Amino acid sequence: MYGILKDARQWPVVLNLILELGQGSNDVLALLLGEFVAMAANAAVHIIDCAGEAALVRRRVGRYRGQFCGQSQSSKPPTNLWVQMPNDPVDLLDTPNGASLCTTPFFRASSAAMSLDSLINRSEPTWWSLLRKDPHKTLAQSLYRSRGQNIPAGSSGLKVVCISDTHNTKPNVPPGDLLIHAGDFTQSGTLKELQAQIDWLTSLPHQHKVAIAGNHDLVLDSTTQAAAEGRHLINWGSVIYLENESTVCHFAGGRKLTIHGNPLTRRHGNWCFQYSSTADVFSSTVPEDTDVLITHSPPSFHLDLGGLGDWNLLREVWRVRPMLHVFGHIHAAHGTENAIFDSFQVRYESLYHRSEGFVSLVQMVLLLLFQKLFGSRPSRTITTFVNAASVGGLKDNLVREPIVVYI
C-alpha cells in the first residue's frame, strides 16, 4: 500500500476502494480513512520537496489521527486538515512552497484494533451474517427471489446477451441476436479506452448491439473536458449508442424491439452523467412502448444491494413494465430477477422503502402460501431485471460471464 501511495495519482483509486469497503459502517469507514491518512503522510515526502514541510504534514496527520482513535487529549479535530470524500466541499492543506493536499471531513473512528489488510482481503458476507444484521430484509429478499426463480422464462427465439461495467475488460461474449452494454466501458473515461471497447464490440457477430454510457465514461458526457477534446473522434462502428433516447431494432421473422437508454446515476465522486440524491430524473421519461430498458443505475431494491438504486426509476418500471430491464453500476449485485408487479412485490418493496419490517414479511409469507395452495397465477406482465456488471469481487479482479436471456 505504501508503494501505491508514493504516486499521488493513485490516491483517488485507494480512496474509492476505502469508501466502497466502508460503505454502511461509519466506524469502519473512519478507521480505513485514518489508516489512509497515516500512510499518505509517510508517502508525502515523495511529493513535497522540503523535508521540513513533510514533517509538518506528518505532525498534523498524527495529531488528527490520534484524536479520532482516542489517543489525544484534544476533543476537536484540526480545522485545516481534511480527507477528500465524494459530494463534500473540498478544502486544501497548504504547505509553504505551494504544494497542497486535497481534503474533506470524516467520521470518528472505532478504537477497536483492526488491520487494514484484513479488511481489504475480507470475504464476501454470508447469508447468515446478513441474516444477523437485518433478519427482516434478508428473509424478505430470500422469499422474493425464490418466488421469482419459479416463474417460467418466456422465449421467442430472440437471444439477448447482457454485459455492463466491463471497465476495459473483454469478457467471453456468446453469440446472440442482440448485445446490450449498460455502461462503464472504461475505467478512466479516456477516448483511447472507449474506442478500444467499441472496436471490440464491433468485432462481435450480433445482429444488433446497443449501448449506453456509465459514470466512468467521461469522454461521452458533453459537460466534461474529456468530451470536448475527444467525443467528436469516436467511431461507433456497428454499435448503436443511446443517451436518453430510443431506437427500434428489427429481427428475422418480423420481430422488433423498442429499446430506450438512460446513462444517469446518483452522484458519487467526480464522475459523469450524475444527478443529486434529491433529484427525480426518471419519472415520465421512458416511452410507454419500450420493450427493453437500459439504464446504468439499478432500480431500488432489485439487484442493488438492498437500496442503492433509484426509487423513481423503480416507479417508472412499474409504469412502463418493459419485458427486460438491463443495468449495472453495483458490481456486487450481479444477477437476474423477475418482477410480476403484484401484491407480493408491493409488500417486498414496502418492506425496504418504508421499513415496515415484520408486518410486510408476514404478509409476504401469507401471500406466497396462498399462491401455492390455491394455484394463484402471476399476471402476464413480467419484467426481467438483469444486473449485468461484468467485473466483480472485492477488488474487481473477477470477470464474469455475460448474462443471456430470451424475450
3-state secondary structure of 238: coil
pLDDT tens-digit readout, 93-141: 333 333 333 333 333 333 333 443 343 333 456 778 777 877 877 888 7
The candidate with the shortest Cα–Cα distance to 160, out of 325, 362, 9, is 325
Lowest mean pLDDT among 15-19, 116-120, 269-273, 297-301: 116-120
Please indicate, yes or no, whether the overall pTM of this predicted structure exceeds 0.75: no
- Asked if 29 and 177 sit in the same domain, the reply is no
Contacts by 114-119, CB closer than 8 A, 24 or more apart = 114/28, 114/31, 116/1, 116/32, 116/35, 117/1, 119/21, 119/28, 119/32
- The answer on 84 and 178 residing in a single domain is no
Please tell me the predicted confidence (pLDDT) of residue 354: 74
Q: Provide the CATH number for the domain around residue 279.
A: 3.60.21.10
Per-residue pLDDT, averaged over 46-63, amounts to 43
More confident residue, 77 or 272: 272
Q: Evaluate whether residue 349 is within a structural domain.
A: no
**Exposed (0-12), middle (13-18) or buried (19+): which is 341, by Cβ within 10 Å?**
middle
**Would residue 325 count as lying in a domain?**
yes
Asked if residue 190 has pLDDT above 70, the reply is: yes
- Claim to verify: residue 190 and residue 298 sit in the same structural domain: yes
What is the count of structural domains for the chain? 2
Q: 293 and 389: one domain?
A: yes
Mean pLDDT (the chain) is 76
Mapped onto helix, strand or coil, the DSSP state of residue 351 is helix
pLDDT in tens, 376-402: 655 557 999 999 999 998 788 899 999
pLDDT over 60 (residue 285): yes
Instruction: Say which residue the cell 390455491 belongs to.
Output: 374
- Is the residue at 138 inside a domain? no
237: left (phi over 0), alpha (psi -120 to 50) or beta: left
Clarify whether residues 327 and 389 are in a common domain.
Answer: yes
